[in-house]
Amino acid sequence: MTRSTITRANKDGKGGGLFRRLAAGAGVLAFWLAVWQVISMLVGQELLVPAPLVVVRAFGRLVGTVEFWAAAGHSLLRVAEGFLCAVAAGSVLALLTTRFRLVNALASPLLHIVRAAPVASFIILALVWIKTNALPSFIAFLMVVPMVWANVEKGIRATDPLLLEMARVYRLGWWKTLLRVRIPSVMPYFMAACTTGLGFAWKSGIAAEVICRPVLSIGKKLQDAKVTLETPDVFAWTITVVVLSLVLEKVLVALARRFGRRYGVAD
C-alpha cells in the first residue's frame, strides 16, 4: 500500500468520524427539542414554557438589535477581565505557596473559604464596596483564583524530582529547566484550571450582573425580561449565555492545545 493511499484513507476516516459526530449531535439536539416541544404543549402556557419556535423567533429578534450586541460585548469584556486577572493571580499564588511555607499557611485557608462559599454571598457583600460595573469582573476573579491556584500548585508539586535532578546534572540552567521541565509538567493542570475556570467565571459574572444590573449587560436584560414576564426573551438570553460559554470554551481549548504542543504537552 502506497503512502498516498494511506494518507487518503486516514483523511476519509477522519471525515467519516466527523460526520458521525455531527449526526449524533444533531440527533441529540433534535431529541431534546422534541422533549421541550412536548412539555410546552402539555403546559399550554407560553408564559411558563414557550415553544422552541417562539424562543427562536425571540432570539432572532434580539440578535437583530444593537442593544443585544452591546450587552453581550460588555458582559464578555467584564468576564474576560476578571478571568485573565484570576489566571495571573492564581498562578503567582501557586508559585508563592509552593515556595514559602508562611505564604502557604496564610493564603491557603482564605482560598479554601472562597472556594467553598456561595457565589451569591460574595455578590451581596461586594455590592457594599464595589461599583456596579466592576462587580461582575470582581466576582469572576474571586471565583476563579482558587481554582487556578489549586491546580497549578498541584502541578508544581507533581513535577518529577528525577527530571529536575537530571536538569541539574546536565546543567540546563534556570531558563531551560523552566521551559523543558517545569512548564510541560504544570501545563496539563493549568489547562484544566483554565477550561473549568472560564465556565465558572462566565456563570458567576452573569449572576453578578443579574443582581447589580449594569446598564449594558446580559444579566440586566435577563432580569428585565423576567420582570416584564417576557418568558421567550428569558429563554433567548439564556441560550445566548450558553452559546457564548461554549464558544469561549472552544477558543480557550484551541489556544491551550496550541500552547501545550509548543511545550511538548500532549492533547
pLDDT-based confidence at 259, cuts 50/70/90? low
8-23 residue pLDDT tens: 545 555 556 677 888 8
Judged by phi (left if over 0) then psi (alpha if -120 to 50, else beta), residue 52 lies in alpha
pTM over the 0.95 mark: no
Q: What is the rounded distance in angstroms from the CA atom of residue 87 to the CA atom of residue 45? A: 44
Q: How far apart are CA 253 and CA 258, in angstroms?
A: 9
Over the chain, what is the mean pLDDT? 82
SS (H, E, C) 8-73: HHHHHHHHHHHHHHHHHHHHHHHHHHHHHHHHHHHHCCCCCCCCHHHHHHHHHHHHCCHHHHHHHH
CATH for 47-262 is: 1.10.3720.10
Does the structure show a pLDDT above 70 at 6?
no
